[in-house]
Structures are given as C-alpha cells and as structure tokens.
Chains A and B, each alone.
Chain A
C-alpha cells in the first residue's frame, strides 16, 4: 500500500482534473473488480465478496487535491491564478509549483524582505497580488508554455521521515484512495461498492452523484482530517493525534453522523484491537455531507487519517494510521453487511 500511496500522491489532480489519478487507480484495480467511470469522472467499483450482504455498503474517498488554476498572464509574463479548494497564502509563498500539461516549473515570488515597509512585515500579500514566476521574459513566451485554465499543483515529493511519518502533497485524500485500492485488491467477506469521487475540495460534487448511482444503505467515507497535535497544543484542541489510529467523526460542519454507527465503529475497533480515536472537534466537512442526503438518506460514517498541515504542500501523517483506517474499514464492511 505504501508504494501505491506514493504513486498516488505524486500524481497531479486538482478538482476537475482527476484524470491521471483515475487512470492510475484503474491500472491497479483492473482484474480485481467491476468498475465504470460516470459522467462526472467518478470511478465506481463493485467488488464481489465471499457472501452477499444484507445491506448495500459503499466506501468513498476523493481523488482530487487542492491547488490552483491559471486565470491570466500579465504583461511581463507572470502567471496569475486563483485557488482551487482551500489554500492559504502563507503555505504557498516561496514554494515551487508545476503547471499544466507540460509540467512547467514555477515559483511563487515575494517582494524581498530588504525592500518592504514595516506593515508589510506583518501582513502577507493580498491574494490578487500573488503571481507565479516561470522564468518567461514576456507574455508571449509565457503563453507558449502555459494556457489559461491549466491546473497548478505543488511540487513536493513523497518523503518518509522521523518516527514513521510521511510527507507529501495530496495525502488529502490519496490516503483514502490507497486504502480503497488495497481493500479491492484483497479478499472481502461481503460484496462492497467503492466510489473514487471527484471534486470534493470544491464542495463534494462527485460524491453527490455517485451516491445516487450506487444507492447504498450505508456509506463509509475514508478521509484525512486536521491533526493539531503540534508544539504546545493540548487535549481536545489537537482534534486528533498522529499514531492513535483513524479519527471517527460524530459531527462536522457538513454532517451530523448517525450516533449508533459512530459508537459501533469505536466498539468494533476496540473489539478487534484496531487503534481508533474520536475526532474531538466539530470542524471541517467531507463527502459524507453530500452522501447522507442522497435519495432517501444514507447512514454515514467517516474514518479519517490524522494529518498535519492539511491543504499545504507538506501534509504530514503517520503511515501506521493509514493501516489502522484500512483495518477498521474492512472490519466495518463485515459488521454493516449483516
């Protein structure tokens, strides 16, 4: 699963441009399940298990990542852009990016510290003033390399470091995708549906239609969520903690989760000796927000990999937590099937 995760994280795929990620996933699940790509680009897979379940279960993870999109090129050949998904200015200034079909290298520049006024020291530039420098000497040269509407993603290679940690762009939510690929390639006790969903980061658009198509009784969303277990942060403020297993949500800004299902997940984890924890803050949102309102309603559960510095070029998580999420998801398929 580590190698697959690494490949997935290194692929570009902002919202609406998930093609390369989808093609890769197909190459890994082909022969292990039935699958089809829907009109929006969701990859919907059906994996035959040993038994037919009483309830129809769908797992979901999103294929897109946050990034930027080219909106213009100024008269000096600098690239203007807007964000795709939630990207803070602080994490992109001074970073390296890659743009579009030709994978053109660029950097986000800033006025040097030697030349700024006092107030500029304390405030980052406005979003509209940000730009990407690709080295072009003119607008014409820039236009020969980059087109309006092309995707921009972070240049940030997958690295293993420290005490079992990994660092990469797009761990949100290639971690969930890697878990689903791993489950599809393994033997399952019961039949299960999988939605590799597009466009989560711009408002859970893909999952809204894949849930309609699959029409499940239960859905398990495999995600990443903020781990604020960093310097000096204590107790529930940490939201969840790297190394303590999958974070299970009882409520976030998009979903009030089925309380029985939430409790059942914690019980199943405990009974199977799988690490899991409660997400201790009502924050964020994910595909569950769209899925639970699909058709006549779906009971949803979210299990997330605790991840530091989400939506930055350097997301950090513990690999063992991804394994815990996989183990709990697998146990829950069996639990909910009966």
Chain B
C-alpha cells in the first residue's frame, strides 16, 4: 500500500475520540505517539506539547479536538438530549451511530422521526438541534447510572478505505494535520535541525483557546499551523476550491507571514512537491489566527490538507496530500535550520 506510514498514523489517530474540552483520551494517545520523537507532555488546557533541539525555533501546530455533541439531559423515556460542540452539522445526524462517552462508552443511534409524526413538513426539512435525541436502548433509570449532562458524544463510524489511497472517517479534521506533523518528524529523524516545538492543541473547534496559550508557552520564532480545508466536490465547485489529491495547500492571507508563505511555495516548486495556493482575505479561521497574536507575536504560516464533507462522519482525505504536507514542512525546516545554524 502506498503512503503506508501516513495511513498507519491516521488510522491510529482516528481511533482516538475527543471533542473540544474533553480531549483527555485523545491527548493521552497522541502524547504517546509524539513521545517517540521528543519529550511530550500535556499542559493546563489540555494541549499536547513537545520540544526538541536548541536555538532558533519553529512551532508546528495541529488540533486534536473534533466536533461532536454534549449531553444536556436524559429525558423521561431514557432518550438523550444534546447540544452541539463546535460546528456539528444537524443535516448529517439522523440515523447516525454515535458513542456517548459517559462513565463508560455507550452505543447509541440518533433517532429519526417516523413518517406519520412528521405532519405536513416536507421530507427534506432539517431538524433543529433541540429535536435531536439519541437512543441508547436504555430506560431512564439505566441511563442515569452511566450518562450525565456534559458527557460528550462522537460519531461511531468506520475508518473506511476508498479507492486511490483515500480515506473516509470522522475526525479527519484535524487528525490529518496531526498525522502530517508526526510524519514530518519521521522524515526529519536522524537530522540535526533547529529547535522544533510541536503543539497538538485542544479546543480549536470551540474557538482556539488551546492554541492561544500553547503558543504563548512556546514563544517560538515562527510557526506553521496545519489544518484541513475545503476540497472540490459536487456543489463545491467554485474556482477557489482545489481537487482532492492536488497536494498541500500553502496559505496566503493578510494575517499570515507573506515571506514564509512565498518561501513554502518556492520550496514546493524546487522539490517537486504537489501543492496549491489557498488565498484568504483576512484571517484564516484556523489556530494560525491565535498563534500569530500570542505573546509578543509569532510570524505564522498555514499549510492545509484538502478534505471533503468537513464536519461529517465521512470526512474524505487523500493520503498523498498528508504526505506532501509533511514533506514540505520537513524541507522547510531543513532549509531554515541551515540558515539559522
């Protein structure tokens, strides 16, 4: 299988479950994975951080949290009521399989409304979050022993291998970014580099609190945020969207450091790394925004991995795009390390 290393990393990462504010399990798992390359620890807000080397420093960031739901109540019939955590999408919840992370993990199905109870509403009307309930097959008495308000809920869907080295899974946003950084560290193994700080940050989907404090703790000389972005798909056809498999996306935005962006593009061209440019008009909507303004300010760049169906249980990514993101990151670090030795 092509891209075996990246596939293995992504598989291991997507098996971990953690929505914003409840990243403990995913942080522990990722801490172990990062620990193979550098000293890794968890900070006060739940970020996993690590550092290696001395001198000039480059911070690499990707977020570890995923969108999901939170329990607000167990109703009298034993069904679980929910609130959204991050940008969960109500259109894709009906009939989804989920895991309720209570005192123990509980299997559940998002209920659907039988035809006779729909009234005159058209079949295609989207339900409101307040009307979403989860069937755990338990009575209220049984459920109350295991499930409490605040418990998080994640999609329970397969890590599905599609044609052409493409994967469909929940939480590709942003485990793909985490995989790219871990792969970058693999590619750099045995090389002398400048200081590399890694931040696998918590709470991106709820506003970037993790990155803000993690970047402050790092105070690196520059940073590269690594997140997912939109790939072309039916209904997503505008010129600005790129095809899945077209390589890593180098971000260009007023909030990003123009010199680093151009340098990344130049290295990609020189090293024959498939890439595209992703241009935004202000901020980027990623951790890059928070890293840039932490402490006395950090010059920040953004590399993105194109995916389809963002914030669904079937986020589709091409492994080649993760590999190429890792390659570009590694080549950039090698050049900057030489310049700042």
* A239: interface (CB < 8 Å): yes
* Residues from chain A with Cβ under 8 Å of B308 in the complex: 109, 133
Judge whether B112 and A165 touch: CB under 8 Å.
no
Closest 9 CB pairs of A and B: A162-B137, A135-B162, A94-B92, A165-B137, A135-B166, A107-B314, A231-B79, A135-B163, A91-B95
Contact of B313 among A94, A104, A156 (CB under 8 A): A94
Whether the pair A122, B126 counts as a contact (CB closer than 8 A) is: yes
A90, A106, A136, A156: the one within 8 Å of B97 (CB): A156
Q: Can you name 26 A-B residue pairings with CB atoms under 8 Å?
A: A90-B91, A90-B127, A94-B91, A96-B160, A105-B162, A106-B162, A109-B312, A114-B311, A115-B230, A124-B91, A125-B124, A135-B162, A135-B166, A145-B163, A161-B107, A162-B135, A162-B138, A162-B142, A163-B138, A167-B97, A167-B107, A230-B135, A239-B114, A309-B109, A314-B95, A316-B137
Q: What CA separation (Å) do A156 and B97 show in the bound complex?
A: 9
CA distance A240 to B313 in the complex (A): 31
In Å, the complex CA distance between A111 and B231 comes to 10
Interchain CB contact under 8 A, A112 and B236 = yes
Task: For the complex, give the distance between the alpha carbons of A141 and B95 in Å.
Answer: 31
Q: Is B133 an interface residue (CB 8 A)?
A: yes
A50 on interface, CB distance cutoff 8 Å: no
**Which one, B115, B117, B310, B313, contacts A233 given CB within 8 A?**
B117
Q: Is B44 on the interface with A (CB-CB < 8 A)?
A: no
Q: Are A104 and B160 in contact (CB under 8 A)?
A: no
Cβ-defined contact, B309 with A109, below 8 A:
yes
**A3 located at the interface, meaning its Cβ lies under 8 Å from any Cβ of chain B in the complex:** no
Question: Given A96-B314, A232-B75, A281-B116, is A313 in contact with B95 using a C-beta cutoff of 8 Å?
Answer: yes
**A129 sits at the interface (CB 8 A):** yes
How many A-B contacts if CB must be within 8 Å? 201
**Cβ–Cβ < 8 Å partners of A76 in chain B:** 234
Q: Is A312 an interface residue (CB 8 A)?
A: yes
10 new A-B contacts, CB < 8 A, other than A90-B94, A90-B123, A94-B309, are A94-B91, A111-B233, A112-B311, A135-B166, A137-B163, A163-B137, A229-B77, A312-B94, A312-B95, A312-B112
Task: Tell me if A94 and B314 are in contact (CB < 8 A).
Answer: yes
Contact B312 A94, beta carbon cutoff 8 Å:
yes
A337 touches B (CB below 8 Å): no
Contact B116 A283 (CB under 8 A): yes
Contact of B158 with A89 in the complex, beta carbons under 8 Å: no
- CB of B314 within 8 A of CB of A125, answer no
Closest CB in chain A relative to B117 CB, distance in Å:
6
Bound Cα distance from A225 to B245, whole angstroms: 45
**CB-CB < 8 A to B190: which residues of A?**
none
Closest to B238 in A: A115
